Amino acid sequence: MDMVPEWAWEFHGHHCPFMPLGYRMGKLAMKELGAGHEPDHGFFVIPELGIGHPQTCLMDGIQIATGATYGKSLMEKTFWGKLAAVFYHPQYLGKGALRLYVTNQFQDEFGKVEFFTYRKKKVEPSKIPDNVTKEAVDWMYAQSDDKVFKLDWIGDYKFTPARGSFNKVKCAKCGEYVFERYVRLVDNEPNCIPCSGYK
C-alpha cells in the first residue's frame, strides 16, 4: 500500500482521508501506466471534480503522487462533480488514457465513518480529533484497490495541451508584460485583459 510521505501532509495543511485517497489513486494510475513521477510536462490529469464539495482534497494527493501539478498546467478539472480522474500520458499510451472512479460502494461506506459526521457539521479537518481522522485514514487504507476504484481504459482520448510560448508584449495601457495568447487588441494596440475591458 502506498502511504503518503510526511511532507505531503505538510504541503496539504491538515490531516484528512481524501488527500491520501488521491495519492493512492495517483500511484495506482502510475502503476497501470508504467509511468514514474512526472519531472516535466508529459503527464496530464483531468479530475472530474468541481467546487463546493469537500472531496477536492483528493486532487492534492493526485498531484503529490504523480508530479502532474496544477502549477505545471498538467491538471485541468472538468467541473462535473464526480470522484474520478483521467490519467493521460501520451508517451506510454499513445492516444489512450486511464480513468479511475471512486466506486459507489466505497463512497457509501466511507461516508459512514465518524470523520464525516464532523465534516457535515462544518468542522474543519484540522479541528477534528486526531483519533477520529486517523480512523478514517486507516479505514481507507484497509480497503482493497478493487473495492475503492473502478478502472477503465479509454481507447481514443481527446485532450490537447496548450502549446507553451515565451513570447510576450507590453500592454499599451499599464505597461506590464503579457504573454501573447492573452493579449487583446483595443484600437489596434495590445492590451492586457484587465486593461482591455473585455471579459
Q: How far is the CB of 23 from Zn ion (least distance, A)?
A: 11
Write the secondary structure of the chain as one string of H (helix), E (strand) and C (coil).
CCCCCHHHHHHHCCCCCHHHHHHHHHHHHHHHHCCCCCCCCCCEEEECCCCCCHHHHHHHHHHHHHCCCCCCCCECCCCCCCCEEEEECHHHHCCCEEEEEECHHHHHHHCCCCHHHHHHCCCCHHHCCHHHHHHHHHHHHHCCHHHHEEEEEECCCCCCCCCCCCCEEECCCCCCEEEHHHCEEECCEEECHHHHCCC
Per CB under 5 A, which region of 17-25, 35-43, 81-89, 180-188 contacts Zn ion? 17-25
192 touches Zn ion (CB under 5 A):
yes
Binding mask 90-129 for Zn ion (x = CB under 5 A): ----------------------------------------
- Contact residue for Zn ion among 105, 112, 117, 174 (CB under 5 A): 174
19 touches Zn ion (CB under 5 A):
yes
16 touches Zn ion (CB under 5 A):
yes
Q: How far is the CB of 37 from Zn ion (least distance, A)?
A: 21
C-alpha span between 46 and 34 (Å, rounded): 18
Q: How far is the CB of 174 from Zn ion (least distance, A)?
A: 3
Q: How far is the CB of 58 from Zn ion (least distance, A)?
A: 9
195 touches Zn ion (CB under 5 A):
yes
Contacts to Zn ion from residues 28-57, by CB under 5 A: 57
Contacts to Zn ion from residues 138-157, by CB under 5 A: none
Closer by beta carbon to Zn ion, 121 or else 163? 121
Q: Which of 59, 26, 20, 40 lies closest to 142 in space, CA to CA?
A: 20
171 touches Zn ion (CB under 5 A):
yes
193 touches Zn ion (CB under 5 A):
no
Where along the sequence are the contacts to Zn ion (CB under 5 A)? 16, 19, 57, 171, 173-174, 192, 195
